[in-house]
Each structure stands twice: as C-alpha cells, then as structure tokens.
Structure 1
Amino acid sequence: MIRLLTIVSAILLIVAPAHAERIKDLGQFQGIRSNQLVGYGIVVGLAGTGDDNLEYTVASMRGTAARFGLTLPQGVNPALKNAAAVMVTAELPAFAKPGQRVDVTVSAIGRAKSLRGGSLIMTPLQGADGQIYAMAQGSLAVGGLGAEGADGSRVIVNVPSTGRIPEGASVEREVATGFGETPGLTFNLSRADFTTAGRVAGAINARLGAGTARAVDASSIFIQAAPGQDVRSVLVGEIENLEVQVAEAPARVIVNARTGTVVINSAVRVGPAAVTHGRLTVRVDESPRVVQPRPFANGQTATEESSAVSVEEQRNPMFVLDPGPRLSDIVDAVNQIGATPADLVAILEALKQAGALSAELVIL
C-alpha cells in the first residue's frame, strides 16, 4: 500500500500548476451541441434468440406487417424467436445535414438473449421535440456472445443483447441552432473559474480588438460578432485556436473511502503541525485441548478452552510539517511512518480539523 501511495504521488507531481490550453479545449460555444435521438424498432433474422412471443413484440410485428398490406389472423400469435423489440439511440452532431450518416446503438428491451446476426427494420428516430430527425436501418455488429446448453447451463461473454450499426442512420432533418442570427456568441467554460474566464476574454480582445469579448460570469464569455454563418464560422475558428493560461485549480483532496484512493492536487498546502500516528492491535488466540478421563473413572471426554490475549501498539515517531510544504514533502513525511492510504485519510482529516490543511477535503 505504501508503494502504491508513492507511485500515485509521483504521477501527481508531474502535473504543472498552470499551463496554456487552447480555448476550444476549455468549453464550447452556446447552441453548438449534439442532440440525442431515440426510437422504437424491431430486429429480425435472429437465430432463435429473440423475445419468444412477448405481447408488445407481437403487436409491433402486426403493425410492421400492416404497413405492407399483410394482415395476420386474429388470435394467432406468431412465434417470434427470430425477432426482438429494441430501443434505438443515436447522437446527432451539430450542423448535421440531411443525407449524412450517424452511428446508432440498438438495445433489446425484452427477453431476447442475443441480437447477434440480426437486422434492424427501418426505424424513425425522434428528438426531444417529438420530430423525426433520422431513419435507422441495417445489420447489427454485436460484440457479445451467449451460448446455452440443454441442461440450462449458460456462458455469456460481454453483452450480446446490445449492438451497434456504424453509420446506420440517415439524417432527414437539420436542427436549427440560430448560430448566424443571435446577437452575439457566448462561450461557456466546462469548469467555472473567474480567473480563467477573464483570461479567455483578454486573449480574445488582444487578438480581435478591445471590447470584443467580456466575461459575463465565472462560466460565460460574451463575444461581439457580426451576423451570418459564414462570418461567424471564420471568427469561431480563429478564437478556438487561441491559447490561454489556465488558472490553477482550487486546493482539493479527493478521498474514495471504498477503494482507499487518495488524490492530492499540487495546490494543497499544510500549515505548521506535528503529527504522530499509531495503531493498536488486539490479538486473541484460541487453543482448545481435549481432556480424557482417567481409566475406569466413568468420566466423559471434555474440551478445555485455552485463550491467549495480547495487545500490541505500534509506536510511530512524531514528524513535523513545516509551513507551506510541497506535495512531495507531505508524501515523504507520511511514507516515513509507513502509513497506508487509510492512515493518510485519517491524518488529512485530523489536519483539516486542526486548521492546518488549506484545502477542500472531498470524501466520495
């Protein structure tokens, strides 16, 4: 555990406190985003691994057959081991045009055991507004595999009830973004920070002229832009590649109590403090022994309990943390006393309570 802590700390030490990043890596422009699509469909052509006569699958197959003028007899439900009801999902990129292709994911919603070898029947994909934006159809690529024996034993590799169709949907409608008609452009940071927002606005003003951009709050920067998609496309391309010195993240210690993982960023500082950490171990050894009665004594064999209780306290020397040590100094001091990640959590919590830890302690 000590070795693991040292390796994790060494990885953390290579992270620079501040570095330059492109604006395009810090967030995204408002309104320029992808949209989620969803649809309900039927997969056919399965090798006996379908839903096996589920009611909604039967109803779906009746509706599909009716579109082609075929009416199934009432009261007769087809055995649908070769078909499965599925949900189809896709992500429509920003500015996707009619005729372009997008990938789709197909997932069984019933008792289908596997979708391997199946084909999706033409399925409309709807957006959050209920409008159809794409049509999906094609053969599934399934990474999972399942096999079942006659005695009921089964072997399943990955998830055979989910598959994908690369470029399986054709875009039918473009999503209106208002990119060329809005009063200006708004850039939203992925991580809110007043310092970074001010530096992004400053970098844009230095390149495009004073007053072009202003930080609205810790997350948003408003940019003056002439109307028109062609003009704004050139402007956005120029802004995205500007480099900005990102502000140092707030001092934070992240502790995952379930796995014992401790992550400390380079902004953490510790005030002067003296720390000692010891562990008390109580050990109870049971050594029962069998006692035999004397010959001809008419006695019974009995068990005599024998317990040995010992208490061991591990004594660790106290170490002193100087004011404002670096992350490497903290790790070295903790490793010297042989502390595990669990011990480190206890030490950090105590330092926080003592007011010597200048960081936010987050327990997951």
Structure 2
Amino acid sequence: MMQGQEEVQEEDLFDRFKEILTLNPALIGSLTSIAFIIICWAIRDSLKVKDVCEKHIFITGCDTGFGNLLAQRLYRKGFIVIAACLTEKGSQELKACTSSSLRTVILNVTNPRSIDNAVAYVATETGNKGLFGLVNNAGRAIPIGPTDWMDIEDFHRVLDVNLIGLIEVTLKFLPLIKKARGRIVNVASVMGRLAFGGGGYCLSKCGVESFSDSLRRDMQYFGVKVSIIEPGFFKTGVTSLEIIEKDLNRLWNRLTPEVKRLYGEKYFEKYVKVQRLSMNTFCDADISKVTNCMEHALTARYPRTRYGAGWDAKFFWLPLSYAPAIVADVMLKLILPRPLGHKRVLSKNQVDV
C-alpha cells in the first residue's frame, strides 16, 4: 500500500514539473541560456597559451612566499623564469630548490638603479622576443596599526615598496612586455578592497587596484593583458605574528604619554590579542591557492581581470566590500577594542554642546 502511494506521489510531482515547464517556456529558455553561458565561459577559461618553453616570466619578491613557490612551479612547467630576490641568500636558496640554471637577479624595488640593472639583464636574456610575463609580487605589510600611531615615514616604508616600487618596475619593463604582447600580474589584497587597518598597507593595495585598472584599459590596444590577484589571509612572512607583534611594540613604545593615556595599556594588550586571533583563525597555510591564480593569469589564453584567492577572500572579505560601509564599520567596531579615553572624549563633547 505504501509503495503504491509513493509511486502516485512521484507521478504527481513529475506531472507538476512537466506542467510548470509547459506553462513557462520563458523559464526553460532562461535556464538553457544560463547553462550555455556557464559552459562557454568554462571552456574559454580553460584555454591555454602555447609554446611556454619560449616564454620569459619575471617575478619580483622570490625570496619566500608566493613568489618563491610560483618561480618553482613555472620553472618546472618549462617557462624561462627570471626570479628577482631581495637578498643573495634568497637567490641561492631558490636555486637549491630548483636548479642552478634558474635565472635570478637581485632587486630592490625601492632603488631605481637596482630596477634599471634588472631591466637591462632581462632585456639581454629575452632578446627580440620581449618579456611575456611580469609578476609584481614583492611587498611588505608593516608598520600596521591604529592610524595615529604612525608617522609619515611609516607610510613611506610600505608605499615605497607596494605601490611606488610596483609602478616604477612596471613602467620600466613595459616596453619589453609590449614587444611580447604579454601580460602583467599585480598582487593586491582583499585589504585593497576593504580597509580595516591603519598604516600604508591598505592604501598601497587600493592604489595597486586603481593603477592596474587604468593600466589594463590603456594597454588593451597593444595586446597587453593585466590581471589583479586579491589574496585573503595566508601564512607567509608578511603575516608573521612575531614580526607584526614586534613592530606593534615599537609603535606603542614610541607614543607620547598623552596618546598612551587615551588608549590605555589594556587597549594595547587587547589589540595584540585580536591580531593574534585573526591571524591564527584566517591565515591559510596553503599558499598554492594564490599561485594557482597567478599561474592561470599567465597561462590562460584569456586571463581574468581579478582573482579572489582563498575561501575567506571569496566568501567573506570581497562580498563584505560590496556591502554598505556601515556594515563593515559595525563589524570591526565589535571585533576591535575601544580606547580607554573614548568615554572621556565623548563626555567632553557633550559638555561643550
């Protein structure tokens, strides 16, 4: 008896589904169109460039982290990789992981002469082929903290590497990239879309976003493609808790007694704990999620404009960046500690009124 009832229910559901499709031809057309678009996009996104063994890729910031892993992966895939390291030690360690035949160059992106030397080296290596790929990966995060803990030099330390250095490297390599009708991959951050930390980091990454958008629109006529990588939080040297906490202590210890009084010792302790909690909670150890995006931007025939790297970027930070500003403001207000002196300031303002 139960089996007969189940068969009747299944027939009823099937008949209702047929009725819905019969009465809604527009629905069928819409679903078919959506499916067709998704399939076409997936096929287009999977198409790859050819003859990678003849293509030169220049990557900055290859001592550790994303740049180091990307250099290893592209080298093993057959690209001619020129890895730029800040130190000789970083260069030797990278060669030890790959081969002594891997090309490396010492580069300080804040030093114009160092950039010129790198450009001259790459021009000699590439010859008439030009440079197929430039990956601007070099960067730093600290100093980062409350804005009024900073001085102008703290902003320069970050902006000179992450933004000004990136721009100068790009401009000087651009003739070689145009020659190859190649592509540029700039590493930004979710913090370039949603600013939630004082200092130069968010400013620099927001600048990378804007510079890359302008560059992409200008270079499309020359066959040059520009992609932006927007990583979430990953375990690299940039997110090292030891380095971040050491610099926070430096910032706190140099504050004037008045500023320290307004924030309070407990604020500093809680701020450090929040940083520790966020890094331990959000930081992903699998940095290949970022290098996968970089690799696609270099090897895809039709690279994407933007790549959100990491689950936190895709499902939290980037969606939050589209929300009204008050949503992010309230969320961060709940997470971050409040200065001890905020009540005193509020009381004074109320008296003045």
Q: Please give the TM-score of this superposition, normalised by the length of structure 1.
A: 0.18
Q: Please give the TM-score of this superposition, normalised by the length of structure 2.
A: 0.18
Q: Which has the larger radius of gyration?
A: 1
Structure number with the higher helix fraction is: 2
